[in-house]
Every structure is written in structure tokens, then in C-alpha cells.
Amino acid sequence: MIGVEEKERIRRAYFLEHKSIRWIARNYHFSRTTVRKALGDALPPVYKRNKERVSKVLGPFKPIIYEWLEEDKTKPKKQHHTGKRIFDRLKEECGFKGAQITVYKYLEKIRPSLKDVYVPIAYEPGIEGQVDFGEAWVHVAGKLTKVHLLCMQLCYSTARFARVYPTERQEAFFDGMQEGFYYFEGVPRKVTFDNPKTLVRKLYRGH
């Protein structure tokens, strides 16, 4: 078993630093099974993306499912996970107690979007960056607190920058963009946003 501090370290690396399960296992010297169990632990802090309603039953296991589906992209189609295989692995390796139909319904929901998200695109150096806001629950002065993360990534190198703010207001957005450009020591020719309409509404409403 691993302690609370080690679980927190794993969860922080995955959710805040966007490290893969494979990277965490190799660099922190844990098995992938141990890493997946730590990510599936329902204990706080619980991290989530904007506008995502996390199922009480399946919520802690969603990062694990995403990781498996991501790994499928590097394997022959015949070796890809079926819904039954994902359900069986969740039960055997992660202690999942939910129903099989819960897993199937979730896969039906996310698989179409995964095909859109993971279409291979060729980028050139310095041309494009991507920006998105996310949310995380962290301990601040001993209190579980929701914070907002402005995340920036360069598409060619996949280098990442993230900065924590108390809100998603305009000042946080502009400061995060500026700090990101300072961090990368340059400005890409084009910056795209994950959900521009939602972002604009939030900025002007002062959320």
C-alpha cells in the first residue's frame, strides 16, 4: 500500500501536471496498477474539468479509462479495449463496484469525442499554442479549496505551462497568457481555445 502523501503526489502529477500513467510509474517507481488505484481513490482532493458532472460511481475511474483508450491508439485495432474488457479490468485491478451498463453508457458518450480530439495533426515549431481553463480541488492552509487553472500548451513541442488563480476573470486570463508567454520566451503565431464561446462568456461575466 502507498500512503496519503504518495497518492497526492501521483494525483497532482496526473491531474495538474498532465503526466501520463506510464510516466508516473517510471519516474516515481510504482507499478501502473498502483498508479491507477491511486487515481481511482475517491478521497480528496478530487480534480475535475469544467462543466463535467462526475458520476459518483464511475467518476474516480474516468482518468483510468481515458488512459487505456489513449494507449489503444498505439496498438493494432484487434488489441483495443472492448467495453467488456474495460469493465473487467476496472473490477479486477481497481476495485470498481459499479454495474457493467454504467461503463458501457460512459463509453458510448466519450468515444465519439475521443475520435475528434485525437485526430493526428502535424504542427510546425512556433506556429500554434492552445489555452484552456480547468478546475482543481487542493488543500490551502488545511482547507479543501477550489482553484482555477489556466493551462497553455505549445502544439509542436507539447511543452506545457499552468498557473493557478482563485477565479476565471479577465485579469486572471490576461495574466496567465502573459506569464505563459514569458515562460516559453516567445509568442506563437496562433493561439486556439478549447471552448471559446464559454470562455468569452465567463470572462465578461467575471466568474
* Same domain flag for 109 and 144: no
* Same domain flag for 40 and 104: yes
Q: Is 55 inside a domain boundary?
A: yes
pLDDT at 121 (0 to 100): 54
* Same domain flag for 22 and 112: yes
Alpha helix ranges (H) inside 16-136: 21-28, 32-40, 62-72, 83-94, 100-117
* Same domain flag for 170 and 104: no
* Same domain flag for 55 and 102: yes
Residue 193 forms beta bridges with which residues? 131
* Same domain flag for 145 and 198: yes
* Same domain flag for 113 and 132: no
Q: Is 122 inside a domain boundary?
A: no
pLDDT at 200 (0 to 100): 59
Domain boundary residue, one of 67, 86, 117: 117
Q: Mean pLDDT in each 10-residue stretch from start to end of the chain (207 residues)?
A: 78 80 87 82 48 61 85 82 91 88 86 56 80 84 88 89 89 91 92 64 55
Q: Is 194 inside a domain boundary?
A: yes
pTM of full prediction above 0.85: no
Which structural domain, as residue segments, surrounds residue 49? 4-117
* Same domain flag for 37 and 92: yes
* Same domain flag for 154 and 101: no
Domain boundary residue, one of 79, 96, 117: 117
* Same domain flag for 101 and 192: no
pLDDT at 204 (0 to 100): 55
* Same domain flag for 184 and 146: yes
The per-residue b/e assignment along 3-37, b for 16 or more CB within 10 angstroms, e otherwise, is eeeebbbbbebbbbeebebeebbeebebebebbbb
Q: Is 123 inside a domain boundary?
A: no
Domain boundary residue, one of 89, 117, 145: 117
Q: Is 74 inside a domain boundary?
A: yes
Q: CA-CA distance, 112 to 161, in Å (whole number)? A: 28
Q: Is 43 inside a domain boundary?
A: yes
pLDDT at 53 (0 to 100): 43
Number of domains forming the structure of the chain = 2
* Same domain flag for 100 and 41: yes
Q: Is 195 inside a domain boundary?
A: yes
